[in-house]
C-alpha cells in the first residue's frame, strides 16, 4: 500500500532537482571589501552584472578593524574563498611580491582603456613598483581625506564677528593649516563643543593618514623613494614642526580624541561635539543623511584638506580590485572587472555614491553636482599622495602609528618619536635588503 507514495515522492524529488536552477550554472563571484557604504553601493551595482550575465555576485564585507588580518590570513592559507579582493593601495607591494595577486598588465592593456582611468588612480591603486607600468589591480574606489564643517556655526553672524575680532580675518572654511588651528581654537568651548575631530588613533592606519598630509605640506617626507634612506627626511626640521602642529591640534579636540578613527570622528560630528571633522570622502554620505545625522544633515559643508607652509598634499585612500591568485573563478573575475570599468557602469557607480576612477565621469557635471561634497573631492585630486606601498608597508606603518600616537598623548617628544621612526624604518629596509649593493 505504501509503494505508490514512495513513487510519488521519488518523482517529486526528481522534478525538484530537474526544475531547480541548473547545477552547471556559473559559480557565484565572491568580491571581498571592507564593511562600509561603498561596499553596499557595489552590492547594488553588481545586480546589473547579474542581470546581464546570470552570474551571481556575492559582496563580502569585513569590518575595517580586521579587514587586513582576514585577507592576509586567507592569502597565507592560499584560500580560494575570495575571487576579487578590493584592497588598500598600500597592500599592492606585499600582495604582488608575495604572489597573492595575479598580474593584470597584459590583460588590462588588451581589454581596458587604461587612458580612461585617472593617472593618479592608476599610480596609487594599480601599479607596482610605481612607474613600472606593471598592473596588479583595477582602480575601484578613489578616496581622499577631506573635512566637513558645521555651516550653522560658520555662518552665524555673531560667531563671524567674534572670530574677526579675535583673529583679524573672516571666518570661513580654512585654506591653510594655520587657519584650521585658529578656527579649531575658536570653537573649543568644553565640555559641549570642540574645534575639531581628526584621525588620532593608533588603530590600523588612522593617525598616519591624518598626520602624513600635514607632514608633507610642512615640507617633511617619509624618505627617498629611490634609495629608501629615511634618516634626515622623516625626522627633519619640517617634519618635527608638522608633528608639533598636530600635537597642538588635539588640544582643540574632545577628550576622547586620542582614540578617534573614522567611526569615532563621524560619531563626534553627528553628536554636535565638534565644529570641524577630518574624514575620508566615502564616509561623508553619512553626514548628509537625515536618518543618520538628523541634527546637522542640512547644516554640513565640506572643504578640502588645507595647504601647509611648504606645499599642498592630501592623503589618498581608496582601493583597487585585484584577483586572488588562489581564485578558481579568474575568468569571471576578469569579466566582472571589464564590465565594472565601462563608462555607463561607472556613471551609475558614481550616482550610487562610489568615487569613480573614470576620468570622464569624474569631470562630468553630473558627478560634480551629485552630492554637496563631490566638488571638494574633485578639487582635492591634484594634491594626492600615498604612504609607502612596498611589501614591508605594514611594518613601517606600525612604527608610525605607535610613535605618532605617543606624541599626541604627550608620552613622547616629536623629535624623539621621529628619530625613533627613522631608525626603525631604516632597520626594516636594511633587513629587507633595500640597501644591498
Interface with another protein (CB under 8 A): 68-69, 72-73, 75-76, 78, 94, 97-100, 190-191, 201-203, 254-259, 391-392, 394-395, 398, 402-403, 405-412, 431
Nearer to another protein, 29 or 399 (CB): 399
Contact at 8 Å (CB) between 372 and 299?
no
State in angstroms the smallest separation of the CB of 185 from another protein.
17
Nearer to another protein, 98 or 311 (CB): 98
State in angstroms the smallest separation of the CB of 204 from another protein.
9
State in angstroms the smallest separation of the CB of 333 from another protein.
21
Alpha carbon distances (Å) from 367 to 122, 286, 375: 20, 18, 8
| Residue 193 exposed, middle or buried by CB count within 10 Å (0-12, 13-18, 19+) | middle
Nearer to another protein, 333 or 408 (CB): 408
State in angstroms the smallest separation of the CB of 249 from another protein.
15
Residue 404's CB is within 10 A of a number of other CB atoms, namely 26
CA distance 90 to 245: 26
- Scored b (16 or more CB within 10 A) or e, 56-94 reads bbebebbebeebbebbbebbeeeeeebbbbbbbbbbbbb
State in angstroms the smallest separation of the CB of 259 from another protein.
5
- 3-class DSSP assignment, residue 259: helix
Q: Of 292, 295, 312, nearest to 303 (Cα)? A: 312
State in angstroms the smallest separation of the CB of 202 from another protein.
4
Nearer to another protein, 75 or 349 (CB): 75
Nearer to another protein, 29 or 250 (CB): 250
State in angstroms the smallest separation of the CB of 73 from another protein.
8
Nearer to another protein, 168 or 191 (CB): 191
Contact at 8 Å (CB) between 426 and 231?
yes
Q: Of 72, 83, 140, nearest to 393 (Cα)? A: 72
CA distance 225 to 233: 11
Nearer to another protein, 191 or 382 (CB): 191
Nearer to another protein, 56 or 432 (CB): 432
- 3-class DSSP assignment, residue 148: strand
State in angstroms the smallest separation of the CB of 397 from another protein.
8
* Grid cell of 404 as nine digits: 605618532
Nearer to another protein, 43 or 203 (CB): 203
In this structure, what are the phi and psi dihedrals at residue 198, rounded to the nearest 5 degrees? Answer: -140, 175
State in angstroms the smallest separation of the CB of 206 from another protein.
9
Q: Of 371, 374, 347, 348, nearest to 359 (Cα)? A: 347
- The greatest distance separating any two alpha carbons of the chain, rounded to the nearest whole angstrom, comes to 100
State in angstroms the smallest separation of the CB of 427 from another protein.
8
End-to-end CA distance of the chain: 88
Nearer to another protein, 194 or 303 (CB): 194
* Helix (H) or strand (E) run with residue 408 in it: helix 393-408
Sign of CA dihedral 391, 392, 396, 397: positive
Q: Which residues are within 8 A (CB) of 4 and not within 5 positions of it... i.e. 6 or more apart?
A: none
Amino acid at each position: 500500500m505504501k509503494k505508490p507514495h514512495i513513487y510519488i515522492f521519488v518523482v517529486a524529488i526528481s522534478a525538484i532537482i530537474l526544475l531547480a536552477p541548473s547545477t552547471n550554472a556559473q559559480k557565484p563571484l565572491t568580491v571581498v571589501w571592507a564593511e562600509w557604504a561603498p561596499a553596499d553601493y557595489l552590492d547594488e551595482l553588481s545586480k546589473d552584472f547579474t542581470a546581464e550575465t546570470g552570474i551571481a555576485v556575492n559582496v563580502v564585507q569585513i569590518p575595517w578593524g580586521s579587514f587586513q588580518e582576514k585577507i592576509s590570513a586567507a592569502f597565507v592559507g592560499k584560500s580560494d574563498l575570495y575571487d576579487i579582493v578590493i584592497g588598500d593601495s598600500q597592500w599592492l607591494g606585499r600582495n604582488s611580491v608575495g604572489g597573492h595577486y595575479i598580474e593584470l598588465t597584459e590583460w588590462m592593456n588588451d581589454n581596458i582603456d587604461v587612458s580612461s582611468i585617472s593617472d593618479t588612480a592608476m599610480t596609487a591603486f594599480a601599479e607596482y613598483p610605481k612607474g613600472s607600468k606593471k598592473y596588479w589591480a583595477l582602480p575601484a574606489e578613489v578616496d581622499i581625506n577631506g573635512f566637513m564643517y558645521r555651516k550653522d556655526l560658520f555662518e552665524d553672524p555673531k560667531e563671524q564677528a567674534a572670530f574677526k575680532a579675535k583673529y583679524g580675518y573672516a571666518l570661513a572654511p580654512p585654506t591653510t593649516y594655520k587657519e584650521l588651528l585658529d578656527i579649531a581654537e575658536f570653537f573649543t568651548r568644553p565640555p559641549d563643543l570642540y574645534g575639531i575631530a581628526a584621525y588620532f588613533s593608533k588603530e590600523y592606519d588612522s593617525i598616519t593618514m591624518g598626520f602624513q598630509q600635514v607632514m608633507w605640506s610642512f615640507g617633511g617626507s617619509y624618505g627617498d623613494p629611490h634609495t629608501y634612506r629615511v634618516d634626515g627626511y622623516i625626522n627633519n626640521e619640517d617634519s618635527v614642526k608638522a608633528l608639533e602642529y598636530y600635537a597642538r591640534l588635539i588640544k582643540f579636540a574632545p577628550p576622547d580624541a586620542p582614540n578617534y578613527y573614522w567611526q569615532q570622528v563621524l560619531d563626534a560630528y553627528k553628536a554636535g561635539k565638534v565644529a570641524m571633522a577630518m574624514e575620508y570622502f566615502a564616509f561623508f554620505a553619512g553626514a548628509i543623511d537625515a536618518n543618520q545625522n538628523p541634527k546637522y544633515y542640512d547644516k554640513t559643508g565640506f572643504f578640502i584638506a588645507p595647504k601647509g607652509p611648504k606645499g599642498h598634499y592630501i592623503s589618498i585612500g581608496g582601493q583597487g580590485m585585484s584577483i586572488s591568485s588562489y581564485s578558481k573563478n579568474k575568468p569571471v573575475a576578469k569579466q566582472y572587472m571589464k564590465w565594472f570599468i565601462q563608462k555607463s557602469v561607472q556613471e551609475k557607480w558614481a550616482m550610487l555614491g562610489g568615487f569613480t576612477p573614470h576620468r570622464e565621469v569624474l569631470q562630468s557635471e553630473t558627478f560634480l553636482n551629485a552630492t554637496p561634497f563631490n566638488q571638494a573631492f574633485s578639487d582635492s585630486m591634484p594634491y594626492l599622495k600615498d604612504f609607502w606601498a612596498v611589501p614591508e608597508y605594514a611594518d613601517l606603518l606600525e612604527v608610525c602609528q605607535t610613535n605618532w600616537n605617543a606624541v599626541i598623548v604627550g608620552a613622547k617628544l616629536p623629535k624623539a618619536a621621529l628619530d625613533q621612526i627613522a631608525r626603525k624604518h631604516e632597520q626594516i629596509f636594511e633587513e629587507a635588503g633595500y640597501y644591498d649593493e
